[in-house]
C-alpha cells in the first residue's frame, strides 16, 4: 500500500491544532471517524492501540516526519490520514526536532507484510526533502494529494 492508495482530500488536515504526538493522534483519528473510515464506537479501542504502539517507541522518524501506525481487527482495509503543522508538533522524534508532516495509518490485524510494506513505502517517500517541501507548501488538500499521486507514492 502507498499513500496514493489511502489518501483522498477529505483525509488531509491542512493545519493541525495539536502541539504533541498524543493530541496529533487524537486529532487525526477524529478525521477517520468523521469521514467514515472507522466507526465511532471503535474510536476508543483504536486510539488505545495506536497510543500503545507509540509508547513503545516514537514514530517521529526525523526530518519533521511522524508516522503513527497500528494494526487492529476493527477495520477491514488499510486506512490513513495526513496532517500538516506549520508550527511543528512535539513528537519526541528521533532527531529531537518538531514534526510538520504526520501520516497515521491503520492496517487490519494479521496483515503483517502489508503493514511493513506500507510503513516502508511512506517512510521512503517522505525521506525526499524536496517532496516534503512541496507537501508543506501545497495551498490545499487537493493540491497535496495531487503531489502525492504525481509521485506515485
Residue 153 pLDDT more than 70? no
The answer to whether residues 91 and 60 touch, using CB atoms and an 8 Å cutoff, is yes
Residue 95 to residues 59, 88, 146, Cα–Cα distance (Å):
11, 14, 29
- The domains of the chain are located at 3-150
Q: Are 47 and 25 in contact (CB under 8 A)?
A: yes
CB 12, CB 82: distance < 8 Å: yes
In the predicted structure, residue 142 carries a pLDDT above the cut 80: yes
What is the rounded CA–CA span in Å between residue 19 and residue 3?
24
Task: Check residue 152 and give left, alpha or beta (phi > 0: left; psi -120 to 50: alpha).
Answer: left
May I ask the CATH class of domain 3-150?
Answer: alpha beta
pLDDT tens column, 11-68: 999 999 999 999 999 999 999 999 999 999 999 999 999 999 999 999 999 999 999 9
Gap between the Cα atoms of 58 and 94, Å rounded: 7
Amino acid at each position: 500500500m502507498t499513500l496514493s492508495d489511502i489518501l483522498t482530500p477529505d483525509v488531509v488536515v491542512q493545519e493541525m491544532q495539536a502541539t504533541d504526538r498524543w493530541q496529533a493522534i487524537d486529532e487525526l483519528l477524529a478525521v477517520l471517524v468523521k469521514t467514515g473510515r472507522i466507526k465511532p464506537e471503535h474510536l476508543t479501542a483504536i486510539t488505545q492501540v495506536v497510543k500503545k504502539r507509540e509508547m513503545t517507541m516514537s514514530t517521529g522518524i526525523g526530518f519533521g516526519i511522524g508516522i503513527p501506525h497500528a494494526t487492529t481487527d476493527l477495520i477491514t482495509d488499510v486506512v490513513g490520514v495526513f496532517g500538516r503543522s506549520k508550527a511543528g508538533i512535539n513528537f519526541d522524534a528521533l532527531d529531537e526536532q518538531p514534526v510538520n508532516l504526520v501520516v497515521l495509518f491503520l492496517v487490519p490485524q494479521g496483515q503483517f507484510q502489508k503493514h511493513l510494506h506500507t510503513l516502508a513505502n511512506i517512510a521512503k517517500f517522505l525521506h525526499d526533502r524536496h517532496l516534503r517541501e512541496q507537501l508543506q507548501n501545497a495551498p490545499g488538500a487537493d493540491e497535496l494529494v495531487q503531489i502525492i499521486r504525481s509521485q506515485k507514492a
